[in-house]
Structure 1
């Protein structure tokens, strides 16, 4: 028994069939899953879950390095008035 019992050529698919390209296949004459797709989706439930992952909330961290040195050394850059004296 085939792992993809509904395997169909891409150019022969109809609305309501899974359009997920099978491994090693692409283009108009490549094979797609072909399993029934629901709710006007392009993929069957299995391939929809594999291709549509929910976005994870990202955490963005900003470091303000202008406030001072991280290692508390005395690295001091003189300003113009100190240089001219």
Structure 2
């Protein structure tokens, strides 16, 4: 556990748990959420730029997120899939 996570917190037990998860999962990095409005705006702008979300012109400050039909555990009567076309929903 020689990796540094640059934690913006002091909770030793939580930091230890995060280090253990990092060692096990080996992500490229760790992103610490701060919950600010600036962070929210940055994350939503990234989602739009990457194509994960679509800004709705008729509804300011609203985004559309569509699920990928191949990434859904199907329980037909409890699943709603939003895709550009009916055929893509399966």
TM-score clears 0.5: no
Q: Which has the larger radius of gyration?
A: 1
**TM-score of the aligned structures, taking structure 1 as reference length:** 0.22
**TM-score of the aligned structures, taking structure 2 as reference length:** 0.21
**Higher share of residues assigned helix:** 2
Q: Which has the higher contact order (CA 8 A, sep 6+)?
A: 1
